[in-house]
Amino acid sequence: MAELRLVNGVRRGKTFDIILDGQALLAYEGETVAAVILASGRRLLRLTRKRGEPRSVFCNIGVCYECRMVIDGSPNVRACQTRASPGMVVNTQHGLGEDDIA
């Protein structure tokens, strides 16, 4: 679903990779981690603690905390409020994320 990232009407800056669950993923300067992941066609950001349910971005303005992921070793970081940067290591969060820290 590459065309989720619109090409008309916008000029993007530099590209780089982030590492999502061990795989390189293309990002553009200025994009949030949530945007990079959604643009790749993937939605899952974390699995909940009690029921193991999949969750993704909900509010995208930093209020709901549904998009929390393990970013550069810190759990519970909001993907919608975090700018992607070259080489950033992002992992799907399971529950509270304690076991996701390598």
Partner 1 sequence: MIARADLAIVGAGPAGLAAAIAARQVGVAAVVLDDNEQPGGQIYRQPPRGFSIDPATGIRDDQARGRRLLDDAARAGVSVRNGVAVWNAKPGALYCCQGDEAWTLQYETLILATGAYERPLPFPGWTLPGVFTSGGVQSLLKAQRIVAGKRVLLAGTGPLNLVVANQLADAGAQVLAVLELARPSVFDLLPMLAGRWELLAQGIGYVGRLAGRRIPIMRGWTIIEARGKEEVQSAVIAQVDDEWRPIPGSERVLEVDTVCLGFGLLPSTELSQLIGSEHRYAPELGGWIPVCDEYCETSMPGVFVAGDGAGIAGSLVALEEGRVAGLRAAMRLGRIDPKEFSAQAARSLARLRRLGRSRAVLDRISRPRPGLFERITPETVICRCEEVTASEVRKEIEDGATSLVELKARLRVGMGLCQGRICSSTLIELLAQGTGQRPEDVRPFSQRPPVKPIPVSALLALEEACHD
Q: Which residues of the chain form contacts with partner 1 (CB under 8 A)?
A: 1, 3-6, 8-14, 28-32, 35, 38-39, 43-45, 48-51, 53-66, 68, 76, 78, 80, 83
> What is the closest distance, in whole angstroms, from the C-beta atom of residue 24 to partner 1 in the complex?
19
> Nearest 5°: CA angle at 54, between 52 and 58?
135
- Closer of 63 and 101 to partner 1 (Cβ): 63
> Nearest 5°: CA angle at 53, between 50 and 57?
120
**Residue 68: both structure tokens together:** 């929390």
In whole angstroms, give the CA distance from residue 32 to residue 38.
Answer: 10
> What is the closest distance, in whole angstroms, from the C-beta atom of residue 42 to partner 1 in the complex?
9
> What is the closest distance, in whole angstroms, from the C-beta atom of residue 23 to partner 1 in the complex?
18
> What is the closest distance, in whole angstroms, from the C-beta atom of residue 22 to partner 1 in the complex?
20
H or E element that contains 36: helix 33-39
